[in-house]
Amino acid sequence: MIVGEQKPVREIIDTIIRYKKLLILGCGTCVKTCFVGGEDEVAALASALRLALKQEDRKIEIEEQTVERQCENEFIQEAANAVARNEAVLSLACGAGVQALAKRFGDTPVLPGVNTTFIGIQQKPGLFTEECQGCGNCVLAVFGGICPITRCSKKLLNGPCGGSQKGRCEINPETECAWQLIIDRLTLLGQHKNLRAYIPPKNWQPSISGGPRKYIREDHII
């Protein structure tokens, strides 16, 4: 899923301060799962903003709505009436959702209420970890299903740096050393050859390094 964190309320207030009628639009998919952008979070943020702005003696009307997915027009459409009633939209979706709204509602300001952080998983309740950088050229088969590009702080492809100690990364003792995990897993899987093999430099062209990416499915183009 795409993981995000809500922006600080103060920062949000600074971006919405000029509007009198605001729609807070949630997204019911990824960001709902990580407790940032679902109905509950929309309601909580709306209350927090109303209270904060009241204390500052400012008047604002806030409308709340959540659609299934802000990254798909089909769902965005459901918010069209609410968008039309308001001066601006505060989106609690990821960056893709914010931009999809901006594309769909060209004359309405769309503001981000969330910092999109990474593609990850919920490792245990309340703990989300980054697992994939969307590099466009998956190498997980070689590394026993553990991504060194995402999970090694130095993106090392040929083994752990000199800072790996007791399975921990040198930059943060709470971070696991990806290479310790790779070595353990490849050993468990009996894939010793992969541990000894020289992994050549990565082709970054399919990544963001090659410029903004597109994926075209001719068979689905109408």
Partner 1 sequence: MNALPLSRLHSVLLKGEFAVTAECGPPRGANEEVVKQKAQLLKGYVDAVNVTDNQTAIVRMSSIAASALLLQIGLEPVMQMVVRDRNRIALQSDLLGAYALGMRNILCLSGDHQAFGSQPDALNVFDIDSTHLIHTVKTMRDEGKDMSGYALDKPPRMFIGAAANPFADPFEYRVVRLAKKIDAGVDFIQTQCIYNMDRFKKWIHLAREEGLTEKAYILGGITPLKSSGMARYMKNKVAGMDVPDEIIKRMDNVEKKKAADEGIKICLETIEELKEINGVSGIHIMAIEWEEKVPEIVKNAGLKN
In this complex, which beta carbon is closest to partner 1, that of residue 20 or of residue 192?
Answer: 192
Whichever of 196 and 214 has its CB closer to partner 1, that residue is: 196
CA atoms of 161 and 152, how far apart (whole Å): 9
Site for partner 1 in 108-167 (CB under 8 A): 153-167
Choose between 22 and 169: whose C-beta lies nearer to partner 1: 169
> Does the protein bind partner 1 through residue 183 (CB under 8 A)?
yes
* Helix, strand, coil in percent for the chain, rounding step 5: 35, 25, 40
Least distance to partner 1, CB of residue 166, Å: 6
Rounded least distance, CB 111 to partner 1, Å: 24
Burial class (CB in 10 A: 0-12, 13-18, 19+), 188: exposed
| Residue 146, CA distances (Å) to 45, 115, 154, 181, 222 in order | 36, 25, 14, 7, 38
How many angstroms separate the CA atoms of 147 and 139, rounded? 7
Site for partner 1 in 190-209 (CB under 8 A): 195-196, 198, 200-202, 204
Strands in 68-180 per DSSP E: 88-91, 110-112, 114-124, 127-132, 168-169, 172-176
Shortest Cβ 9–partner 1 spacing (Å): 24
Comparing CB distances to partner 1, the nearer of 104 and 154 is 154
Q: Should residue 104 be labelled a site residue for partner 1 when binding is judged by CB under 8 A?
A: no
The single-letter code of the amino acid at 169 is: C
Binding residues for partner 1, rule: CB under 8 A, are: 153-167, 170-172, 177, 179-180, 183, 195-196, 198, 200-202, 204
